[in-house]
């Protein structure tokens, strides 16, 4: 393949990278320009990821040698269907997140636009790097780029965010260190850091205790970062107090990208015969998934704060995906990978709603949602779509990924997972019914029933939510619906091939 042909791949990472360098300097002179530059960079990234995905769909996996060095010695980007898909998800959600961030930054972080957008772009760069790289240690570096920027971004939220972010930093650093330790254990017995190379070298060493421990620590480390129960303790605080633009972006993406890493490690670096058959890591993982689903659901029920409730829903959703990965048959894995897309979309949607309510009502407790169907009918529609997707009502995308997860669970006779999924569906109904009730029923018993007039006041308020908030929200609900309606197109063209061949 001629070297210039795949240059577009590297743009995905380099565009936000260059923008992040330039933005702080530009911020001194023209604050407005930061926003446009950021959008431009992410847009380039988005296009690049789409083109890459198309290339992968047409020609199979693509490699990009950085510095022109061949893999075991140099670093490569290795893009197959799995990470092409995740990269599109990441760039797409980031694009929406950046558009959404405008008002939040202007209002809450005056004079720091440059630094904010720079960190935002670095976060995107880091996440994309994690997704694209084919080198275990390079992944760690990207992980740190993404983590450091997310610590800083989260810390600039409401009161309490500092401490939450600090805890996240401690736990996250330990997690990243464990990941690095695990990589070290693999390195000491194989001498390689390249994923593809490792997967060739490892089968000979599957009996080694070192490999086992290395694998375990990689999983622990990544487990912390993706907040898999019981390593999730940092997540609710961090994402609850973060600025709404940040949580709308970090919450859906960070955990999903880490799940991608898990899939990579379990099915590419190690082969299914090791992880699934020899040490049964996946079946253990699937039970953690079950626990996460149940725990996330129950904890979410007891929250009075909307964002915190969403955080526990995320914990549960991670359980869905991890469970699907753990079941480790093609159907469930298809569902899990597809759910990464759906979950990212619906979480970004709900966090957008939280941001809009925060913007209008200066709070994100469930009680702040009182009457939103009248006052902010637009946000209410978005909320409804997001909620339906989380519950898994067709024709939203959430239903179809759940369908595959359930189908896979039944095929594998993993009844615990199936039951947990179904219970969690019901819990989600209860969760959103609460918010829904608050938003929809404002009259209550005994209040005046002649309130036909209040129906009329809703029109003028719509304009108050700025354009930069509702454009991404509209895009995201359309995406949720389209992901559902065209799920076959997505599954047949890309997700299906993302499933490792060994299953």
Partner 1 sequence: MGDLAKEFVTTYNYWVYIILMMIGLYAVMVKNNLVKKIIGMNIVQTAIILFFISIGAKRGATIPIIAHGHNGGEHAVHAADYINPLPHVLMLTAIVVAVATLGVALSLAIKIYQEYGTLEEDDIRTQTREE
Partner 2 sequence: MKAFALIIVILCAGLLIYGTSDFPPWSDPESPASTHVSPYYIEHTIEDTSVPNIVTSVLADYRGFDTMFETIVIFTAGIACFFLLRVTKREDHESRLYHHLVTGVTLRIKEGGKLPDESEEFRRVDTEWVPYSLIIKITCRLIVPFIMLFALYVIAHGHHSPGGGFQGGVIIGAAMILFAISNDLRAAILRLSEKMATFFCSAGVFIYAGTGLLCLLLGLNFLDYGALAKILFTDPVTARSHGILAVEIGVGIAVMGVVVSIYYNLSSAGKHDEGL
Partner 3 sequence: MTGMFGIEYRPLSAVLLPIIVAFLILLSNKRPNLRESWTLLGSVLLFLTVSSMSPIVLAEGPIQWTWFNLLPNIDFAFNVDAFGLVFATTSSSLWILVSLYSIGYMRSLKEHAQTRYYFCFALALLGAIGIALSSNLVTMFVFYEILTLSTYPLVAHEESPEAISAGHKYLAYLLGGGVFFLIGILMTYLLVGTTDFNAHGILSPALGPASKLTLQVVFFCFLLGFAKAAWMPVHSWLPSAMIAPTPVSALLHAVAVVKAGVFGVIRIVCYIYGIDLMQELGLGLALASIAAFTIVVANLYAIGQDNLKRMLAYSTINQLSFILIAVALLSPMAVAGAMLHITFHGFMKITLFLCAGAITAISGKKAISEFKGLGRAMPITMTAFLIGAFGMFGAPPLAGFISKWHVVLGAVQSGQLVFLTIILIGSILDVVYFCPVIINTFFGKMPETETLKGDLEEKVEVYSEKVERLETKRPIYYFMIIPLAITAVFSIIFCILPNTFSIYDLVQMAVKDIFGGM
> Which positions lie near partner 1, rule CB under 8 A?
137, 140-141, 144, 148, 151-152, 155, 159-160, 162-163, 165-166, 169-170, 173-174, 177, 180-181, 184, 187-188, 193
Among 61, 72, 371, 502, binds partner 2 (CB under 8 A): 72
ω into 395 cis (within 30 of 0): yes
Per this entry, what is the length of the chain? 503
Within 374-433, which residues bind partner 2 (CB under 8 A)? none
Among 1, 67, 452, 456, binds partner 2 (CB under 8 A): 67
Among the candidate windows 80-88, 108-116, 227-235, 333-341, which touches partner 2 by CB under 8 A? 108-116
Least distance between partner 3 and beta carbon 425 (Å): 6
User: Contact 167/188 with Cβ under 8 angstroms?
Assistant: no
From partner 3, partner 1, partner 2, none, which one binds at residue 66 (CB under 5 to 8 Å depending on kind)?
Answer: partner 2
* Burial class for 408, CB neighbours closer than 10 Å (0-12, 13-18, 19+): buried
Least distance between partner 2 and beta carbon 325 (Å): 22
φ/ψ region of 472 (left if φ > 0, alpha if ψ in -120 to 50, else beta) reads: alpha
Within 20-59, which residues bind partner 2 (CB under 8 A)? 21-22, 24-25, 28
**Radius of gyration of the chain from Cα atoms?**
22
User: Contact 157/246 with Cβ under 8 angstroms?
Assistant: yes
From partner 3, partner 2, partner 1, none, which one binds at residue 22 (CB under 5 to 8 Å depending on kind)?
Answer: partner 2
Q: What is the distance between the alpha carbons of residues 22 and 38, in angstroms, rounded to a whole number?
A: 10
Q: What is the distance between the alpha carbons of residues 357 and 76, in angstroms, rounded to a whole number?
A: 43
Q: Does 429 sit near partner 3 (CB under 8 A)?
A: yes
ω into 280 cis (within 30 of 0): no
Q: What is the distance between the alpha carbons of residues 184 and 192, in angstroms, rounded to a whole number?
A: 10
Among the candidate windows 126-134, 212-220, 263-271, 404-412, which touches partner 3 by CB under 8 A? 404-412
Within 441-480, which residues bind partner 3 (CB under 8 A)? 441-446, 449-452, 455-456, 458-459
Handedness of CA 234, 237, 241, 246 (dihedral sign): positive
**55 or 428: whose CB is closer to partner 3?**
428
From partner 1, partner 3, partner 2, none, which one binds at residue 190 (CB under 5 to 8 Å depending on kind)?
Answer: partner 2
Q: What is the distance between the alpha carbons of residues 173 and 146, in angstroms, rounded to a whole number?
A: 12
Q: Does 17 sit near partner 2 (CB under 8 A)?
A: yes
The count of residues interacting with partner 2 (CB under 8 A) is 65
Per-residue b or e along 53-73, where b marks 16 or more CB atoms closer than 10 Å to that residue's CB: bebbeeeebbbbbeeeeebbe
Among the candidate windows 44-52, 107-115, 225-233, 368-376, which touches partner 2 by CB under 8 A? 107-115
**129 or 386: whose CB is closer to partner 2?**
129
**18 or 295: whose CB is closer to partner 2?**
18
Q: What is the distance between the alpha carbons of residues 374 and 394, in angstroms, rounded to a whole number?
A: 26
Q: In this structure, how many other beta carbons lie within 10 angstroms of the beta carbon of residue 381?
A: 15
Q: What H or E segment, with its residue span, contains residue 463?
A: none
From partner 1, partner 3, partner 2, none, which one binds at residue 173 (CB under 5 to 8 Å depending on kind)?
Answer: partner 1
Q: Does 110 sit near partner 3 (CB under 8 A)?
A: no
**66 or 442: whose CB is closer to partner 3?**
442
Q: Got the DSSP string for 157-185?
A: SSTTHHHHHHHHHHHHHHHHHHHHHHHHH
From partner 3, partner 2, partner 1, none, which one binds at residue 163 (CB under 5 to 8 Å depending on kind)?
Answer: partner 1
From partner 3, partner 1, partner 2, none, which one binds at residue 338 (CB under 5 to 8 Å depending on kind)?
Answer: none
Per-residue b or e along 83-114, where b marks 16 or more CB atoms closer than 10 Å to that residue's CB: bbbbbbbbbbbbbbbbbbbbbbbeebbeebbb
CA-CA-CA-CA dihedral for 470, 476, 477, 483, to nearest 10: 170
H helices of 242-304, where?
A: 244-264, 272, 281-301
Among the candidate windows 196-204, 318-326, 356-364, 418-426, which touches partner 3 by CB under 8 A? 418-426
Q: Does 287 sit near partner 2 (CB under 8 A)?
A: no
Q: Does 214 sit near partner 2 (CB under 8 A)?
A: yes
Contacts with 264 (C-beta within 8 Å, 6 or more apart), sequence order: 82, 83, 195
From partner 2, partner 3, partner 1, none, which one binds at residue 456 (CB under 5 to 8 Å depending on kind)?
Answer: partner 3
Q: Does 426 sit near partner 3 (CB under 8 A)?
A: yes
Largest CA distance in the chain: 78
Among 38, 48, 104, 190, binds partner 2 (CB under 8 A): 190
Within 318-377, which residues bind partner 3 (CB under 8 A)? 373
User: Contact 379/320 with Cβ under 8 angstroms?
Assistant: no
Q: Does 482 sit near partner 3 (CB under 8 A)?
A: no
Question: What are the residues binding partner 2 (CB under 8 A)?
Answer: 3-4, 7, 10, 14, 17-18, 21-22, 24-25, 28, 64-69, 72-75, 110-112, 115-116, 118-119, 122, 125, 129, 135, 137-138, 141-142, 144-145, 148-149, 151-153, 155-156, 181, 185, 187-193, 201, 208-214, 216-217
Which residues make up the interface to partner 3 (CB under 8 A)? 373, 388, 391, 393-395, 400, 403, 406-407, 410-411, 418, 422, 425-426, 429-430, 433, 437, 440-446, 449-452, 455-456, 458-459, 485-488
């Amino acid at each position: 393949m001629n070297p210039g042909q795949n240059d577009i791949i590297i743009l995905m990472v380099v565009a936000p990278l260059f923008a992040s360098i330039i933005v702080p300097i530009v911020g001194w002179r023209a604050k407005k320009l930061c926003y446009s530059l950021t959008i431009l960079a992410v847009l380039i990234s988005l296009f690049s990821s789409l083109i890459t995905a198309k290339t992968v769909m047409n020609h199979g996996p693509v490699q990009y040698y950085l510095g022109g060095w061949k893999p075991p010695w140099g670093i490569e980007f290795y893009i197959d269907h799995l990470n092409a898909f995740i990269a599109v998800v990441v760039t797409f959600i980031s694009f929406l997140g950046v558009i959404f961030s405008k008002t939040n930054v202007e209002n809450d972080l005056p004079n720091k636009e440059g630094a904010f957008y720079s960190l935002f772009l670095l976060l995107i760069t880091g996440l994309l790097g994690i997704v694209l790289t084919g080198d275990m240690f390079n992944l760690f570096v990207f992980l740190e780029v993404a983590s450091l920027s997310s610590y800083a971004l989260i810390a600039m939220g409401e009161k309490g965010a500092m401490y939450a972010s600090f805890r996240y930093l401690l736990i996250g650093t330990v997690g990243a260190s464990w990941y690095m330790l695990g990589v070290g254990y693999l390195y000491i017995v194989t001498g390689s850091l390249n994923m593809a190379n490792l997967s060739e070298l490892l089968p000979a060493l599957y009996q080694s205790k070192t490999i086992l421990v290395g694998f375990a620590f990689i999983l622990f480390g990544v487990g912390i970062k993706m907040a898999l129960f019981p390593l999730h303790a940092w997540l609710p605080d961090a994402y609850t107090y973060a600025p709404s633009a940040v949580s709308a972006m970090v919450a859906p993406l960070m955990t999903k990208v880490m799940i991608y890493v898990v899939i990579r490690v379990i099915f590419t670096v190690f082969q299914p015969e090791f992880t699934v058959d020899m040490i049964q890591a996946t079946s253990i993982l699937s039970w953690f998934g079950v626990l996460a689903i149940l725990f996330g659901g129950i904890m979410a029920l007891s929250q009075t704060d909307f964002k915190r409730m969403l955080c526990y829903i995320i914990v549960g959703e991670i359980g869905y995906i991890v469970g699907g990965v753990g079941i480790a048959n093609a159907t469930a894995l298809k569902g899990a990978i597809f759910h990464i897309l759906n979950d990212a979309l619906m979480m970004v949607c709900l966090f957008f709603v939280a941001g809009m309510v925060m913007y209008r009502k200066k709070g994100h407790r469930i009680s702040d949602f009182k009457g939103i169907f009248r006052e902010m009918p637009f946000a209410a529609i978005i909320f409804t779509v997001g909620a339906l997707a989380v519950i898994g009502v067709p024709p939203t995308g959430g239903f179809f990924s759940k369908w595959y997860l359930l189908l896979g669970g039944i095929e594998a006779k993993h009844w615990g997972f199936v039951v947990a999924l179904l219970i969690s569906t019901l819990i989600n109904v209860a969760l959103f019914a609460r918010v829904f009730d608050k938003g929809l029923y404002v009259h209550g018993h005994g209040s005046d029933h002649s309130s036909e007039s209040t129906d009329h006041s809703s029109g003028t308020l719509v304009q108050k939510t700025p354009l930069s908030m509702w454009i991404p929200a509209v895009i995201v609900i359309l995406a949720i619906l389209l992901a559902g309606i065209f799920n076959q197109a997505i599954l047949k063209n890309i997700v299906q091939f993302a499933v490792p061949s060994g299953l």
